[in-house]
Amino acid sequence: MRLNEKQVQAIKTALTVSYGSDAEVWLFGSRTDDSLRGGDIDLLVRNAPEGEDGFKRKIKFQVEMEKRLGERRIDVVVEKSGDERLIVRNACEYGIRL
C-alpha cells in the first residue's frame, strides 16, 4: 500500500468527521500496488449514512482530506445500499480497508 501512516490517519479522521464512526474507507486502484509509482488516491466509502445530504457529506469528506493531506487527486466512490456497480465490487474484492 502506497500511503504512509500519517496519510491513513488523515483519511480516517476526515471520514469520521464527515460520515460518522460507523463508516469504513477502503483504498483501491493503483495505490494498493507497492510496485507502481504515482497515481491518484481511489477511496470507497462503505456504511455511509444514507439520505438527502449524501452529496454534502461527500464534498465535506473531500474538503477535510484536502485540509489534512494538501491538494491531491483523490477519487471517492460512496457505496449505497444494494450497490451492484462494478467499481464497488472490485474495490471490495481487491481493496484494502484503512
**Which residues in the chain show pLDDT less than 50?**
none
Which pLDDT does position 47 carry in this prediction?
A: 94
Which pLDDT does position 42 carry in this prediction?
A: 94
pTM for this entry? 0.90
Q: What angle do CA 44, 40, 52 make, to 5 degrees?
A: 35
Give the start-to-end residue ranges of the domains of the chain: 5-97
Helix segments in the chain, DSSP class H: 5-19, 54-69, 86-94
Which pLDDT does position 9 carry in this prediction?
A: 98
Which pLDDT does position 55 carry in this prediction?
A: 92
Which pLDDT does position 35 carry in this prediction?
A: 77
Which pLDDT does position 50 carry in this prediction?
A: 85
CATH 1.10.287.3510 fits 5-97, yes or no: no
Report pLDDT digits (tens) over 14-37.
999 999 999 999 999 988 987 777
> What is the DSSP-derived secondary structure letter of residue 29?
G
Which pLDDT does position 2 carry in this prediction?
A: 83
